[in-house]
Structure 1
Amino acid sequence: MNQEIEWKLNNQLLLSKAKTGLLRRGSFQTVSRARIDRTTLQIASLVSEDFGVYKCKTTEYKLFLASAQANPSTVLYNSGTKLSCDVATGSTPNKHTFQWFNPNSTSYSNDKEVNVKSVTTDNAGTWTCMVRDEKGLFRINVTVEVKVIGPLITSGEVMVSEWDTVELACLLSGKNRLPIKGGLWKREPPSEVYFPVLISTANTVKWNRTGVSDRVTFSDQELNANFSVKLNKVTRADTGVYVFTLEFEGGNSLSEKLHLTVLKREGFDSENDLKMNKNNIWHKSFWGMQMWIWVAIVLSIVVLISLVIIIVVIYRRNKRMKRRMNKLNSMRQPRDYCKCTRGVGKPRAGKKARPPPLSRHDYSSLHDL
């Protein structure tokens, strides 16, 4: 690397060489016989005019390594982060001054380390640390990027009439860069309405439908930013504060409230309707389904089992009757008797042949005569 070097004779310029190689010469006669080799001055054919005090002046360079970081660099809304700035100077310690500028280019702090508490969206962006040496001869700027997740955005105040459908809206602002671990809606104070719970799977986040009230509906789309649910057929008993909490990896979370006011609708006896609705056991939720659905399933199973039993009984009855008929048929078949096949002998001479015996029928007829 080329250096700036300057040689003086008796405090007067003799010869200098810039980084670019440009030479400057003094008015001494020695100049014609002098040259600079790197940092060395060489003079040929010395004479008496060359005697004197020679001084060498060269430029010094110091290397500094400045760095800045944020911990954590991705931070939840209304939480905090720590900014730190440092300079490595090697074996030669030097004093430096630090100055932090926020993303709006406004001076924030003159400390080496800064704790930014209760961050907002205004704190998201590029932070700059300006480093100076104690003499002010140099200045270094280093930057660090801070990302803010949140806040959760709700409607704040919602007013509806009885038996209407209301959307409990909740959106996550900004682009999320932290894994979501869970979340849930709840009412303060608690009520008999049960909302879904947000659960994380291998690659996605979805609602858990187990135990959810039948008046609550929701969608599984865009669950990385939209966590809204709907409450159907609202009554004045549903008036209250609803809170949604979103949990992230590491145990951090965001929460936001929504106040729901249900107004009385003219022409409806809401208290009587609500009482009838509560006393109607058929519409109560049990394991995610209404009671009448469970009863229908049980009755269907009972009917199916009854049909199977009837079919088995009829089959066994028919089989038993068939076996009995076969037995009766075998008893009604005529009996086979042995018949003599011996030939009839010729009558002897002088004797009259004996007639064959009469049958029972012929014998009876003879007696009747």
Structure 2
Amino acid sequence: MELCSTAVSCMAAFLLLHLGLISSMAQQNEVQTGLVGGEVTLKCTGIPLDSKLSRDEVSWMYYKTLLWRTENNNAWRTSAFPTHRADVKMENKQLRMWDLKLSDAGIYTCKSSSHEVRISLHIFKLTVSLDGHFLQNEVPELILMQNSSSPLPNLKITLFNSNNNKVIPELQSKTHQKYIVNLKKLEATDSGTWLCQVRSDSPLINQNISFVIKVLGFQNPDLERKYATVDSTVILSWHLNSQKIKWKEGFTGQLNWKQQEGANAHELLDFKVTAQGELHETKKSSNFLFEIPERNAEIIIEVKLPKVYFNHSGQYQCQLEYQGRHVQSKIELVVMKVSANPDGPLSRGANMTLTCQVSGPLPPNAYLRWERVNGTNMDVKNSRQHEIKLEVNISAAGLWSCHLIEDNDRKISLHYHVEEAPVWISYVIIGASVAGSLLVFALGCLCIISGISWQRRMVSAMVPVKGAESTGSPNHRRSQISCLGAGQNR
């Protein structure tokens, strides 16, 4: 009897355990995620597709509200079923929803005579400021919102840029429902598809949300420095990335020039880009000598200076405007010139001063250098830091070169050929110098003789002739004349 009782107890325990397993298999709980504006398919997991079950009653409920039901292959929807955003596939009883909203989050139940599947739909919404259209150096703001039937989890957000590099955003504010983060200042190379990875441990969520960022800007550096020599030809170019990102909105811009910081700006040209990507330019300045080169397929703003003058130096700023926002890129044009004093052939034994000058300040890693081609180390002179003018005193003829060196790289060079005066010219110069010295000496002697003659005439004019006749004896007159002569000699 005890054995039988034990066997009955074991059988009862086995039946209870078996029924528990059946119950746990019959009712399943799942977590599924979706995105606002996206699409999701909720499956009746565990319902086989056989002819018998297809005649069973299957229903979809949102919480306790009946949405859809089928019986004997006849389906009908209730008024709560969003017919314009949802549908049920008869062959597998899957509920497909599109154009999702945050309010669609909640518990959906697929129920049949033998199975019941409960799905917790978790909805995310990612919003990018300015509709994803940014100018260079602007900071995007991302807003991530979530909605669910259960308590909202604490999310971990990771971002990857268009180059698949991890980006650490700056968290501005956070609630369980809403996260606001800021990105870094954008560059033109940041255009493309980004990825927002959302994770949670409880419930287990790993949702990837892709979004597009378009950055309109210049592919040039923020501040570009270009060097040119006097009388050379230079082209200043600003490369826009609007074609690469297929910018659909029109924008305008202008190109200004000012000779130095704080000076008045002069507008050289303005331009606009249509929604079809066509560039239209208009020349504004008639006093400044420049040309607009013929455009190629890319959108490039260019000005050509066919002959550079020293006063063409300064800041050339290209500015874009889109919906009241601006972005600009500058090119600093630095011009070099050389001169000599005295200007002409270098005579033997003479000296000459060569001057090399640039139009604007140089960066700390740049300097000027004078050197004689095929010369020695004694013929090399470098400028000090921040010097924009370098002079060198030379006594040797030949080809002298002034180099502008930045980071040990010669950016530009300007040559000055110092000719040596012929020998006969040297002799002529020496002869002229000697002749000039003799002429000066002769003129000096002539001036002395003229002065003495003038002094004698003045003394003679001062002697009273009549008084001398009435003085008496000839001996007295001779003594007077002797005295006068002695005085003149003194």
TM-score w.r.t. length of structure 1: 0.51
* Residue 227 (structure 1) shift: 0.7
The amino acid of 1:12's aligned partner reads L
1:161 corresponds in structure 2 to 229
Q: Structure 2: where are the runs of 5+ without partners? A: 1-12, 27-44, 49-55, 60-113, 344-490
Question: For residue 287 of structure 2, what is the aligned residue in structure 1?
Answer: 213
Structure scoring higher RCO (CA < 8 A, sep ≥ 6) equals 1
Q: Are positions 1:186 and 2:246 aligned together?
A: no
Q: Which has the larger radius of gyration?
A: 1
State the SS of the aligned residue for 1:153.
Answer: coil
Aligned counterpart, 1:239: 313
Q: Is the 8 A contact 1:207 1:220 kept in 2?
A: no
**CA RMSD in angstroms, aligned pairs only:** 3.9
Q: Which residue of 2 aligns with 1:100?
A: 158
Separation (CA, whole Å) in 2 of partners of 1:133 and 1:99:
9
1:80 and 2:139 correspond: yes
Q: C-alpha distance in 2, partners of 1:137/1:75?
A: 34
Report what 1:226 is aligned to. 300
Matches within 5 A, 1:123-134: 123-133=190-200
Residue 205 and residue 179 in structure 1: after superposition, are their counterparts in 2 closer, same or farther (change >3 A)? same
Aligned to 1:12: 17
2:186 match: secondary structure: coil
1:136, 1:186 → 2: CA distance? 60
Q: Counterpart of 2:328?
A: 255
Specify which structure has the higher proportion of strand. 2
8 Å contact from structure 2 (residues 144, 180) kept in 1: yes
1:128-173 C-alpha deviation (Å, 9 max, x unpaired): 3333456243332222121222234169222222222221222123
Task: Write out aligned runs for 1:1-369 (5 A).
Answer: 11-14=16-19, 16=22, 19-20=45-46, 60-72=118-130, 73-89=132-148, 93-103=151-161, 104-106=164-166, 108-109=168-169, 112-121=179-188, 123-133=190-200, 135-153=202-220, 156-173=224-241, 175=244, 177=247, 178-189=249-260, 196-200=268-272, 204-213=278-287, 215-219=289-293, 221=295, 225-247=299-321, 249-265=322-338
Deviations along 1:160-202, whole A, 9 cap, x unmatched?
2222222122212362514222212212438899553214387
Partner residue in 2 for 1:296: none
Alpha-carbon deviations, 1:317-339, whole Å to 9, x = none? xxxxxxxxxxxxxxxxxxxxxxx
Q: CA 1:223–1:193 in 2, change beyond 3 Å: closer, same or farther?
A: farther
TM-score (norm 2): 0.40
**Structure 1 spans left out of the alignment, 5+ residues:** 1-7, 23-35, 40-55, 270-369
- Once the two structures are overlaid, the 10-residue window that deviates more, 105-114 or 250-259, is 105-114
What CA distance in whole angstroms lies between the structure 2 residues aligned with 1:202 and 1:122? Answer: 22
- After superposition, the C-alpha distances for 1:246-276 in whole angstroms (9 at most, x for unaligned) are 22x212222122222222255899xxxxxxx
* Residue identity matched to 1:63: L
Contact residue 250 and residue 272 of structure 2 kept, 8 A: no
**Counterpart of 2:182 in 1: which secondary structure?**
strand
Whether contact under 8 Å (1:194, 1:212) holds in the other structure is no
Distance in 2 (alpha carbons) for counterparts of 1:222 and 1:133: 51
Do the aligned partners of 2:250 and 2:273 also contact (CA within 8 Å) in 1?
Answer: no
What percentage of residue pairs aligned between the two structures are identical? Answer: 20
Q: How many residues align?
A: 231
Secondary structure of the structure 2 residue equivalent to 1:228? strand
